[in-house]
Amino acid sequence: MTYCTGMRLDAGLVFLSDSRTNAGVDQVGTFRKMTVFEHPGERVMVLMTSGNLSISQAVREHVSAYVAPDGTTVWNAPSMLAAARIVGDAVREIHKRDARALAEFKVEFNISIIFGGQVKGERCRLFQIYSAGNFIESHDQTTYFQIGESKYGKPILDRVINPQTGLDEAAKCALISMDSTLRSNISVGLPLDLLVYEADSLAVTRFTTIDERNQYFQMIRSSWAAQLKAVFESIDDPVWDAAPGTTDNVLCAANGKVAPQRVPLPPYLTSATGPQTPPPPLQTVAQDTTGGQP
């Protein structure tokens, strides 16, 4: 499995991916999920993949080598939208070639892609591309995309990221999001690839690979855990059965007339003569002790 996130901000783009793949607990490998297409001064494009590794690699190679009948490639596409269509078409082409053979071996055609960057003359753009080759584009109300094991790292992104977030703040938030995922899911693992792209730079200037020895990431992991615990401990415990208005932090007011849904006691426990022996269970064919004799 994997976890990748990409963010489109007013100041530029942030991409973060892990590098773990697994086909079972004893078949774990390290494969980088991030690929960069860079023509300095003209365009920078970043592609991150999640899903079946063989499909992801086939799509990446198809995109790299693709030349349309009119000569269009990712290297000369007039816009990020046109480049995203090339990526989507590559997914469809690999599906057409491989999906039936994979299905015969009960292998699902599974791929998710985050694709973003900037072509000279237009703004930064970010897309999420699906297994059918269709895609959606990020906008101000949806400033980030996630693929793979997204649920653990989503809450911090929802609370922090907006179009005005600075690149360094966004990178820090992405790393905290990744740390939350690493802590809760063993199918995501180090090393990480982090790329921060400044709008209109049209070149990769801030990129790093992060392993377990990375000083900043270790600081993130320890300080985030400590501060979360400190904030948690600073929140007051709930107050039960207090009269309304007599104190703060009332979780359940006295005489609040609330009760759980209870299962009625069986009759043998409510008999006037006291608790009785429960009735014997109904006999089934499997419990027949007569050996099938009449």
Starting at the earlier edge strand, list the strands of the sheet with 125-129.
Answer: 34-39, 43-51, 111-119, 125-129, 135-137
| Domain CATH code at residue 177 | 3.60.20.10
Residue 127 lies in a domain: yes
- Compute the C-alpha angle 285/287/290, nearest 5°: 85
d(C-alpha 63, C-alpha 58), whole Å: 9
Residue 292 lies in a domain: no
What is the rounded average pLDDT of the residues 2-31?
89
pLDDT in tens, 34-92: 999 999 999 999 999 999 999 999 999 999 999 999 999 999 999 999 999 999 999 99
Q: Is the pLDDT assigned to residue 274 strictly greater than 60? A: yes
Total domains in the chain come to: 1
Residue 7 lies in a domain: yes
Residue 278 lies in a domain: no
What is the percentage of the chain residues whose pLDDT exceeds 70?
A: 93
Which of 15, 103, 14 is CA-nearest to residue 4?
A: 15
Residue 223 lies in a domain: no
Residue 294: what pLDDT?
53
Confidence of residue 292 (pLDDT cuts 50, 70, 90): low
Q: Is the pLDDT assigned to residue 255 strictly greater than 80? A: no
Lowest mean pLDDT among 138-152, 158-172, 198-212, 280-294: 280-294
- This prediction has a pTM of 0.88
Residue 284 lies in a domain: no
Higher model confidence: residue 102 or residue 265? Answer: 102
Q: For residue 177, what are the domain limits?
A: 3-212
d(C-alpha 68, C-alpha 89), whole Å: 10
